[in-house]
Structure 1
């Protein structure tokens, strides 16, 4: 209970800061909405090529994962600013759990991502999305779990680097290959070597799982994507916690 209370205190402080400038929630939605409006219609004639009856059922899950990646992967910039202002060191001299210091921040990123994901899905219905209600809930849950993992990773890298000049190119070098190899815009089917490389990227399986569950299908693809979402989150949370616990982090 003490850990939950400490986590909530950190979360509440971060929430108050975020509510003072809610524009960031809207800004985070701009890119996926532009893709939805400008790129989505181009997929309508191609949906049958990829075995889909509805182009947006194929496209929106990818946009959710894109939102999960880019909506939280750069959370470390805020942490660097807090470190520079002395907030992190002030928190570290308190008896609060180092894990709570991390999870309180990640919880805010997860809540912001949840709101953005719901808005994106609701807007997608205006463009013609047809998806299972249960599948949508499950898909958003996987998105939030992936986003929480990205936030843990970003905060840990931010605390280690303590510099935006180091953080920005590092995160960009990670996010771009992941974006291209995950099949976010279109499923990767050719060439074979690229498909083989993509198969080792966990987010590719998460995208495939959300696409499957949006159609109301709960098969091995969904469970495999769920497995990788849990593994990625667990790995990022463990590493992030270790970084926050280090005396000289």
Structure 2
């Protein structure tokens, strides 16, 4: 299965490299937030309970925005492959059904991590952001896990809906609440109590707390432990859902 996964991975990665427009487009939204919205936060340092640097709060949020939207919309490519018969041709090969999913998810993880590195590099060069080096590496690891979770779910949704319209309506209904209740744009500690309590239901909010703590060198906090465990569990659950769906739909 490893060999088959590698073949699927390289096939899809080469396709991305030949036409990198989608990866660039997905990078542009958080980059615009960083450039146009980030400077507005420079006077909000005192608004944070611990006096955190707003850039160390905002930048990791933008990194996770890439992970959320880049992976959640990955399934649109699979819909196109279903329509063109690519998946049908793969079904008649002896390739493992798990490899068909894992190769695609591995490609999405690679692209997401590359985009995150570019965004962090721009934040460092243009805005003087100084993240903890180990925290930055740990953040990229959590970005990869978020990519596994949402890409797997997105491919499962693509196999179920088999249409861009069905996927778009479903994803918009899910990703917008996930974004707003995660604290990606602003920490939920600034929200009223009821809204902050509601955000705790969102697994992504714990990931956001973890990467912000790690960016600021606060590794000995409960946020890091909770966020890492929740993200890992989320990736395992949605990865299992994606795998089972691929097995059933491609049997």
- Contact 1:206–1:229 (CA under 8 A) maintained in structure 2: yes
1:95 CA displacement: 1.5
- Contact 2:82–2:162 (CA under 8 A) maintained in structure 1: yes
1:34 matches 2:32: yes
1:230 matches 2:232: yes
The match for 1:241 is 243
Q: Which whole-Å CA distance do the structure 2 matches of 1:83 and 1:30 have between them?
A: 28
- Contact 1:47–1:58 (CA under 8 A) maintained in structure 2: no
Q: Deviations over 1:134-186 (max 9, x none)?
A: 00110111012101211101011001110111000101100000000000111
Q: Which whole-Å CA distance do the structure 1 matches of 2:178 and 2:195 have between them?
A: 13
User: Runs ≥4 in structure 1, deviation > 2 angstroms?
Assistant: none
The match for 1:115 is 114
Q: Deviations over 1:207-231 (max 9, x none)?
A: 0000000111112211111111111
Q: Which whole-Å CA distance do the structure 2 matches of 1:202 and 1:60 have between them?
A: 19
Q: Which whole-Å CA distance do the structure 2 matches of 1:40 and 1:176 have between them?
A: 20
Alignment gaps of 5+ in structure 2: none
- Contact 1:54–1:129 (CA under 8 A) maintained in structure 2: no
Alignment gaps of 5+ in structure 1: none
TM-score (norm 2): 0.96
- Contact 1:54–1:130 (CA under 8 A) maintained in structure 2: no
Q: Which whole-Å CA distance do the structure 2 matches of 1:54 and 1:145 have between them?
A: 26
The match for 1:196 is 197
1:87 matches 2:89: no
CA RMSD of aligned residues (A): 1.1
Q: Which whole-Å CA distance do the structure 2 matches of 1:248 and 1:149 have between them?
A: 20
